Structure 1
Amino acid sequence: MIQSCLLSAIPSIAHGFGHRQMLTPEVLVEFETARPYKQQVHGTRIVTVETPGQACGHADGFVTDRPGVPVSIVTADCLPILLAHRSGRYIGVLHAGWRGLMDGIIERMLKQITALQWGELSQWVAVVGPAAGAHAYQVSEALIAQFRARLDLPEAIMSPRPRHLALGAIACHKLESAGIGEIAHIDQCTITTLVDGSAGPREGPDPDAYRFQSHRRHTLTHPDPETRPKLPNQHSGLVIVP
């Protein structure tokens, strides 16, 4: 299980980021029956979760103030972002891929927190979890051009290498600019990080050598979509402990 000291410092909250050997963080397993039902669609809809097992429909962000009700998302190469008020009374989680970052899912989440009157953003902390790293996440020049046109970001943050997108850096910049009090980035690449924490090649001979599930790596390893096995995703989330 992967955790952040920033969230571990809030006693009333349990959190974790999943990985290939432990898809659901062990601290969230006992709350699994209370997990909301949802379908992630790379959108920007944020749902306030008020009851265990709540039906949330299509959504990629969740907030709650209810103890014992976990909020979590599944990812492969997209960003899991966990948020919490320093008091431990309010929590949130985001599934943020390139579409969500471009379309403003972080801004939607912070707008929801403000509308709920759950404290000043400066009293919130955020942890940006493992995702496709800028060194390995190669995209089209057309997509980079869309980011340049729609987001006011320094090039060195958005695309530090030609045709490579820095999801984690973009998210951290957005959170900092919005006034989040403290931000941590677990900068581990889901495409290349090995079980021992070192960085491997983009196309390794042994998928079991890698720490995370990765759709990008999985597609490279199994190029034929007809025979490609289904890839289970890893869960990341948090819960206010009753």
Structure 2
Amino acid sequence: MNANTTFAKLRDQVPLVHCITNYVAMNIAANVTLAAGASPAMIHAEEEVADFSPITGALTINIGTLSTPWLRAMKNAAIAANEANIPWVLDPVAHFATPYRALAAKDLLALKPSVVRGNASEIIALSGQAGSGKGADSGDKVEDARASAEILALTHGCVVAVSGPVDYITDGEQRAHITGGSALMPSVTALGCSLTALVGAYCAIAPRLEAAVGAFLLFAEAGERAEAHASGPGSFCVAFLDCLHNLQPGDLDEARVSWG
């Protein structure tokens, strides 16, 4: 797979991405999707999601700020996406924090997402193991989540993408490690949630493993470049959006990706 070619395809096709995400993430997720070259739609009303999802390129579901109506909408959207053969991405934010969230994540996982994206603690807990997460923050290392990611991928027939200092992506058979990004990224709220939206954008134009790797590589490239222009989280967020916007196909360093 060639990530620069996939990036060019994203920019050329400008896919429409249906993002059901949390209140905190809406703005940054929409802006990241736009800056990368796709078109976000932040629709979550249960009365319309089943009609909207099938006309998009991809669906993303993020459970960060759950409510009963939103959860019904998430399930309706996922079912409609599956029926229309539309790829969709699940972000099980802090699903281990309460029984309600855990059941929501379990029910959504049963609806067969194309990609599951989370931090190490979220992925470990989603596989049924005990992690060390605290709220939406990971308390575990990416390398400790690799076995859990592979179990999830093989059991549920999906790609699992684990975010961290060195990202890990697997479909249970192939394994990619991606370097880059910035230590400032965890200091910007909902930036990880915006990565989920970006994975969705890529899923609209590429096979799911290629999509996850391409999105994570673009994110890592923009993050590393943005750090050079930032003096803290605030200026980093602005620089990150600018770098995403200014990156062009051919700019991505594919040496950041290692397989095996």
TM-score by length of 2: 0.34
Q: Where is the strand percentage greater, Structure 1 or Structure 2?
A: 1
Q: Where is the helix percentage greater, Structure 1 or Structure 2?
A: 2
TM-score by length of 1: 0.36
Structure of greater relative contact order (alpha carbons < 8 Å, 6+ residues apart): 1
